[in-house]
């Protein structure tokens, strides 16, 4: 197996342009699982760890190479919350937000936060330079993205208007080291409008726009509105039954979790 270890982004993009079939490796906590199970047999790996440009957090840009361990200290409350739930300390020391985005698993815990934040994914290639893709155009299906074969994820770009009032939680089959059965992120801005994003309940992360609209019309929701909010969220998601859960449980849990997070935001 050939391993290329670029030390800057330009060299990584050149390596990617020369061999678009090569596998990019960040922390390896997803890719090496694929290798260990025999699902992936990389012939050429481009290791991204040494690229300083993608390891920075600056001006609303979170570099793709930033680990969950670092994001545990994020000033974005829900990002810090979710980072603390990813795997174990060892996984968080190696695993990166860029790898989470690159894998694009429906259960990727970073994705609901990116959706609620209205983040853009900054990608770059040698041939076309840099482009920014809204999260909703980037994630196209189960483990599918609009990343081109010659591109590298550079950063998640977070708009300035991300509400400080934000909460994340997930439900899984046990209380730690667990892949999400349902994950949710709720944000509430100063005007009382809310953003509701969910993971593990559709092929890609989703926003519950009708539930958001309900709270826009009822910024101080009564018990009846909160119940309707949970029901609306449950209706807006499109989960499946698999080895982790049933469609019905996921749907119900999505509503319960979103309502719980909304109530926490309302109490702040
Ligand atoms: C025991 C265990 C527990 C886990 N628990 C959780 C959990 O609780 N929540 C959760 O969300 N995930 C979890 N994961 C999955 C994994 O840790 C995360 O998805 C992590 O963020 C992956 O990051 P990485 O840097 O290790 O990615 P890698 O494995 O290095 O890469 C993952 C994919 O992204 C691509 N990629 C990486 N960087 C880039 C880039 N800059 N540009 C383009 N493509 C790129 C790679 O080519 C690969 O296809 C767990 C994994 C394990 C093994």
Tell me which DSSP letter residue 213 carries: H
Q: How far is CA 179 from the centre of its chain?
A: 13
- The string of pLDDT tens digits covering residues 96-126 is 999 999 999 999 999 999 999 999 999 999 9
Q: What is the band of 70 on the pLDDT scale with cuts at 50, 70, 90?
A: very high
- The C-alpha angle with vertex 25 and arms to 62 and 8, in degrees rounded to 5, equals 60
Ligand 1 pocket, 27 CB below 6 A?
yes
The full set of domains in the chain, from first to last, is 165-267 (3.30.390.50)
- The string of pLDDT tens digits covering residues 195-232 is 999 999 999 999 999 999 999 999 999 999 999 999 99
Q: Average pLDDT in the 248-263 region?
A: 98
**Higher-confidence position of 268 and 134:** 134
* Ligand 1 pocket test, candidate residues 5, 9, 64, 86, most atoms within 8 A of CB: 86
Q: How far is CA 220 from the centre of its chain?
A: 29
Integer Cα distance of 130 and 63 in angstroms: 14
* Ligand 1 pocket test, candidate residues 79, 94, 98, most atoms within 8 A of CB: 98
Report the predicted TM-score, pTM, of the whole model to 2 decimal places: 0.97
Residue 83 has pLDDT above 90, yes or no: yes
CA 68 to centroid of ligand 1, rounded, Å: 10
Ligand 1 pocket, 200 CB below 6 A?
no
- The string of pLDDT tens digits covering residues 202-211 is 999 999 999 9
Partner residues linked to 130 by β-bridges: 124
Q: What is the band of 135 on the pLDDT scale with cuts at 50, 70, 90?
A: very high
CA 227 to centroid of ligand 1, rounded, Å: 36
Determine if residue 122 is left, alpha or beta; phi over 0 gives left, psi from -120 to 50 gives alpha, anything else beta: beta
């Amino acid at each position: 197996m050939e391993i290329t270890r670029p030390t800057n982004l330009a060299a990584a993009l050149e390596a990617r342009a020369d061999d678009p079939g090569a596998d990019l490796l960040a922390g390896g906590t997803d890719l090496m699982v694929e290798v260990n199970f025999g699902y992936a047999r990389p012939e050429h790996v481009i290791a991204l760890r040494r690229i300083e440009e993608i390891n920075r957090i600056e001006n609303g840009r979170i570099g793709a190479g930033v680990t969950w361990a670092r994001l545990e200290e994020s000033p974005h409350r829900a990002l810090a919350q979710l980072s603390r739930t990813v795997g174990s300390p060892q996984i968080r020391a190696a695993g990166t937000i860029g790898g989470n985005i690159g894998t694009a698993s429906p259960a990727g815990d970073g994705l609901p936060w990116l959706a609620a934040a209205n983040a853009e994914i900054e990608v770059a290639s040698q041939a076309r330079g840099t482009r920014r893709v809204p999260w909703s155009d980037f994630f196209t299906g189960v483990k599918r993205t609009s990343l081109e074969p010659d591109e590298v994820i550079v950063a998640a770009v977070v708009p300035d208007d991300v509400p400080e009032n934000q909460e994340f939680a997930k439900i899984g089959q046990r209380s730690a080291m667990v892949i999400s059965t349902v994950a949710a992120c709720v944000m509430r801005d100063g005007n009382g409008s809310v953003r509701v994003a969910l993971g593990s309940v559709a092929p890609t992360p989703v926003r519950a726009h009708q539930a958001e609209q309900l709270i826009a019309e009822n910024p101080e929701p009564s018990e009846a509105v909160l119940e309707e909010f949970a029901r609306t969220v449950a209706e807006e998601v499109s989960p499946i039954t698999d080895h982790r859960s049933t469609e019905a449980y996921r749907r119900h849990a999505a509503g319960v979790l979103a309502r719980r997070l909304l109530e926490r935001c309302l109490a702040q």
